[in-house]
Structure 1
Amino acid sequence: MLAVFEKAIGNPPQELGLPSVGLDFEGKRTWEEILEAFRLLWPDSTLYHLSNGNFVASPHEAESPLHPRSTVVMDDIFCIFIGILGNISELRRHYGLSRRATEAMVVVEAYKVLRDRAPYPPDQVIKDLEGKFAFIVFDAKSGTLFVARDREGSVELKWGMAGDGSLVLSDDPNTIQEACGKSCAPFPPGCIFMNVNGLISFDHPLHKVKAIAGEDDDGKICGVIFQVDLFTRLPSIPRTGSAANWADITVVEGE
């Protein structure tokens, strides 16, 4: 799976670009180049054009039987879900859905609750999902992007920053590395990213999710990971925007 959202929509955390600072975007591509390379590699992929150059591509032959994909478009809301919800029967009843409702349909209904009951905390919606999963929701009407991964990180999901500043997400490490060079990282388990609110933990919503940069032997940043800082408590609702993470970046030498 590959998803690309242009900079104004994706609003990627600035920390994702740290490993490429001073390298003139070496090894990074624009969204057009990313799409072209992906289609050459997976010519039979299903391509979903969302808007303004935003897209999601899903190759059928690369799908894992342990982590199947389900996709749905409902009321101008797109969702691609990877994995399985262990409590899907309970969630179907909770949201008034039929027995045939897929995981993607359940997540869309959960997102609608979050959207329509604003400022309803997003962690209250996602913490009820039990299972192994990662998903991407895009609301075309509001331009809202909503991404989450389960607590254990059971389903592979990485994110990165393309050469034109676009946000890139993929469950294939090779795909995202070719698209973003060093400017990519694992999407943190147990976390939610919304382009309007930034990155938060759904188990620890009042604690900051910080970027930790690792350095090589020459003192250059070679990668970034995101993790919950249980020693830094947010005063209330997490600050809006990806810049909220930037102020508290930590550099770890020798990693």
Structure 2
Amino acid sequence: MLAVFEKSIGKPPKELSLPAVGRDCLNISPEEIAELFRSWRSDSTFYSLSNCNFLALSHQDENPAYPRSIVVMDDIFCIFSGALYNTCELRRHYGLSRQATEAMIIVEAYKVLRDRAPYPPDQVVKELEGKFAFILFDYKASILFLARDRDGCVQLHWGTAADGSLVCTDDPNVISAACGKCYTPFPPGCMFIGGNGLISFDHPLNKVRGIPREDEEGNISAVIFQVDLFTRLHSIPRTGSAANWANATVVEGD
């Protein structure tokens, strides 16, 4: 799976670009990233959006235990990889039919969270039992929502392209070719909401920090995101409508 979104939508953490400081960045555009993915995965299906944003799905080299799927509902796109173990419970909770797939469940959970739910997004993701990674994009609201299971069983990498676009994929070769050094595994047990940043759904009141790793010459070679158990946040985003979902903020503690 692959998704590329312009900087204004993805709003990636600045730490993702740290390894590029003082180095030559790969001068590859979103269009070239798409062509690269097509050339490597001939079975891929693309969903092109405005301003060169896109999502793509391929079943090539798919792990049977963690299948990939995509659904488009009410202008919401969701690519899901993995398996949920409590699908029956989640279908009943969200009023879905027995035919509803994991991707459909994620979309419905997001819609309830965005429009009606009085609880924070970490609670919704915490209720997902299984091994998974998903990329969800609300086209009308221009909201990007990513998450990965707490054990990190399903691969998900993210990074920044030369123009600052956010690149997300489960293929380490694609992310390396698209982002050069400016990528890292998406942290397990975390979710990312464009505009709200990176949040641990097990430790939502603690900040998730990007920690630079240096090579022998003192250059930043990689960034790893980890939960800082010593830094508390004053609050976490609460949602009750599409408006305050988009405008919710996280404030770091002193």
Match of 1:13 in 2: 13
Match of 2:106 in 1: 107
Measure the CA separation in 2 of the matches of 1:131 and 1:181: 31
Measure the CA separation in 2 of the matches of 1:7 and 1:119: 29
Q: How does 1:116-127 map to 2 (within 5 A)?
A: 116-117=115-116, 120-127=119-126
TM-score normalised per structure 1: 0.91
Q: Within the alignment, does 1:149 sit opposite 2:148 as a pair? A: yes
Match of 1:194 in 2: 193
Match of 2:242 in 1: none
Q: Which whole-Å deviations, capped at 9, do the CAs of 1:176-198 have from their partners, x for residues lacking one?
A: 00100000000000001000200
Q: Which whole-Å deviations, capped at 9, do the CAs of 1:144-188 have from their partners, x for residues lacking one?
A: 000000010010110000001000001011110010000000000
Question: After TM superposition, which residue ranges in structure 1, 4 or more long, deviate above 4 angstroms?
Answer: none
Match of 2:61 in 1: 62
The farther-off stretch of 230-239 and 176-185 is 230-239
Measure the CA separation in 1 of the matches of 2:17 and 2:3: 18
Q: How does 1:1-255 map to 2 (within 5 A)?
A: 1-25=1-25, 27-117=26-116, 120-237=119-236, 240=249
Measure the CA separation in 1 of the matches of 2:114 and 2:161: 28
Measure the CA separation in 1 of the matches of 2:140 and 2:230: 38
Measure the CA separation in 2 of the matches of 1:140 and 1:154: 28
Are 2:162 and 2:179, in contact at CA under 8 Å, matched by a contact in 1? yes
Q: Aligned-residue CA RMSD in angstroms?
A: 1.9
Q: Gaps spanning 5+ residues in structure 2: where?
A: 238-247
Shift of 1:22: 1.9
Shift of 1:52: 2.1
Shift of 1:28: 4.7
Measure the CA separation in 1 of the matches of 2:6 and 2:117: 25
2:43 partner SS: coil
Are 1:28 and 1:181, in contact at CA under 8 Å, matched by a contact in 2? no
Shift of 1:36: 1.4
Shift of 1:82: 0.3
TM-score normalised per structure 2: 0.91
AA aligned to 1:21 is V
AA aligned to 1:160 is G
2:235 partner SS: coil
2:81 partner SS: strand
Shift of 1:87: 0.3
Q: Which whole-Å deviations, capped at 9, do the CAs of 1:125-151 have from their partners, x for residues lacking one?
A: 111000000001100010000000001
Q: Percent identity?
A: 67
Shift of 1:119: 6.4
1:235 partner SS: strand
